Amino acid sequence: MTLRSIIWSELRSRPWGALSSSLAILLGVAALVAIRHITFFSEKEVSQQLAQLGANILVLPPEATLQDYYAADQNGGTIPEEHVSEIYLAGLTGIEQVSPRLNVPADMGGISITLTGILPQSELEAQTTWQTATMFAAPKGHEGCEKAKLTTAQLEGTDALVTHRAIQNLKPDEVILGADVASRSAFDTGDTVEILGKSFKILGVLPVTGTVDDSRVFAHLHTVQDASESGPVCNAIEVIGCCEDAAGDLVPQLRKLLPNTKVVTISQVVQTQVGVNRLMANTSWFVLAVLVIVGGTSLAGAITANVRERRREIGTLMALGATPKFVRRLFLGKALVLGLVAGTLGSLIGLSVAIAAGPVWAGVTVSPLPATAFLAIAVATGLSLLSAWWPARKAAALDPCLCFQEV
C-alpha cells in the first residue's frame, strides 16, 4: 500500500473521529472568515460615506448644535466670512478645501426654499492676498491622502456639489436647483427665475442626494449676502482635510485659531460605526488566537491519542519495512488533509454566515474575498501540520519490538 492509500483508508474508516479532531479548527476558521468579511465591507462602507459627504470638518457659530450634519448650517447663527481667510493664511497641515455657506429663507415662483450661498473654489484660488501669502504659509497636505486632494476637474459641474460639497465655478447671476425644488417647480436648466428680487439663470439641477440639499437652491455667496442684507457672514465653513489630520491635530488647531466658533469633525458623527469596526477587528484577532490555541491543542491531542491507540499497527508497519520517515509522513499527511478540509469548509461556512448576517449586523452587503479565504485555509493547514509534528515524531520513534509486547 502507498502512503496516500493508507491515509485515505484511515480517514474513510474513522470519518467521525477525523471530523471531531478538526472541529475546533473548522469553527475557528468559520468565525474568523465571517468577522473579517463583515469588518472589511463595514469599513469600506464608512469610507464611502465619508467620501460622499466631502467636507469632514465644520466651523459653526458657538450656539450651533450638530443634530444633523447636513442641517447644522441652518442654525440661524452666523460667523464672519473673514474666518475663511484666517483658516487659509494659517497654513495648517492637511487642509485641502475651504467652503463657506450662508442659508436664508426665500421664495421662488411661489415655492418656499432655502437659498444657500456658496463661494466657488475658483474665487478662493484667485484671491491676490492669498496668492501672496501662499509663498509663506500655504496649506500643507499629506502626499498620498487621495480622499482630500480635489482637482479642478473633480469640482467642475453641478455634480461636484453632491460628491464634494463644493464647486469650481458659479457666476453671480447663476443658481443650481436641488432635486426636490426642481420636481416641485416647473423650472429646469437654462430657465430664468427671480429670488429675493434678483434674476438668476439656472445653471443645472442636482441629482437626488437624500439630504436637505434636495430642498435648497445654491447661489453665489456674495450675491446671497447682498440680497439678504446680511453682510459678510456665513452660517458655516466646511473644510475638507486629510483624514488623518481631521482625526488628529487639525480640529484642536482650528479651535485655537477660531476661539469664538464651534469646530466639529465628521468623525464624531460616525464614531459609533468606527468603534464597532474596531471592536470587530480586535475580535478577529481574538478568534485567531483561540483558533491557534484551542484548535491546535485539540488536533495535537487527537493525533497523540491516535498514535497511542495504534501503536501495534505502527509497529507492524515498521516491522514490514516502513521507515521512521514514512511513519512521520503518514501522520503529517493525515494532518494536511484534515487542515485543508477544515479550512475549506470553515471558509465556506464563514462566508455564508457573513453574506447572510452582514446586512443585519452591520447594514452592509458582503461579497467573497478570495484572499481572505485562501489565507484562512493556509492558516488552518499550517496549524494542522504544526500540531501534528510532535505526535508524528513520537510515532516515528516507536520501537516495533516494544509495540508487539503490548496486549
Domain boundaries, the chain: 3-47+273-405, 62-260
Mean pLDDT of the chain: 78
User: What's the confidence (pLDDT) of residue 220?
Assistant: 94
The pLDDT, as a whole number, for residue 269 is: 53
Q: Which residues pair with 234 in a beta bridge?
A: 79
CA distance 254 to 90: 9
Q: Which helix (H) or strand (E) holds 240?
A: strand 236-241
Whole-angstrom distance, CA of residue 152 vs CA of residue 122: 9
Strand 111-118 relative to strand 262-265: parallel, antiparallel, unpaired? unpaired
pLDDT tens sequence across 48-76: 665 555 557 888 898 877 655 556 666 66
DSSP, collapsed to helix, strand or coil, labels residue 94 as coil
Nearest to 165 by CA among 181, 182, 148: 148
Query: What count of residues does the chain have?
Result: 407
The number of angstroms, rounded, from the C-alpha of 151 to the middle of its chain's C-alpha atoms is 23
Stated as kind and residue range, the H or E segment containing 201 is strand 198-205
Residues 179, 78: contact at Cβ < 8 Å? no
Which grid coordinates are listed for 321? Answer: 519495512
User: CA-to-CA distance for 297 and 22, rounded, in angstroms?
Assistant: 10
Residue 268: the pLDDT is: 56
Q: Which amino acid is at 272?
A: T
Angle between helices 3-13 and 324-361 (to 10 degrees): 50
pLDDT the model gives residue 349: 92
The tens digit of pLDDT for each residue in 250-300 reads 788 899 999 999 888 765 555 555 666 677 777 777 877 877 787 778 778
| Strand 198-205 to 174-177 pairing | parallel
R_g of the chain computed on alpha carbons: 33
In 3D, which of 46, 34, 68, 50 has the Cα closest to residue 275? Answer: 46
CA distance 298 to 179: 61
**Residue 104 CA neighbour count, 13 Å, CB half:** 23
Residue stretches of the chain with pLDDT short of 70: 1, 3-4, 6-7, 10-19, 46-55, 66-76, 125-155, 159-160, 162-164, 242-248, 266-277, 311, 399-407
Alpha-helical regions (H) of 260-369: 271-290, 296-309, 311-319, 324-361
CA distances (Å), origin 55, targets 42, 273, 350: 21, 18, 37
User: CA nearest 188: which of 171, 201, 169?
Assistant: 201
Judged on CB neighbours under 10 Å (0-12, 13-18, 19+), 5 is exposed
State the alpha helices, DSSP H only, in 15-127.
15-21, 23-53, 82-89, 121-126
Are the C-beta atoms of 251 and 57 separated by less than 8 Å? yes
CA distances from residue 132 to 84, 89, 137, 138, 290 in whole angstroms, order as listed? 16, 10, 9, 10, 60
Dist CA 54 CA 166 (whole Å) = 8
Match 421662488 to its residue by C-alpha cell. Answer: 108
Straight-line distance from the first to the last Cα atom of the chain, in angstroms, rounded to the nearest whole number: 26
Residue with cell 478577529: 284
* Predicted local confidence at residue 130, as pLDDT: 47
Q: CB under 8 Å to 307, separation ≥6 — which residues?
A: 314, 331, 391, 394, 395
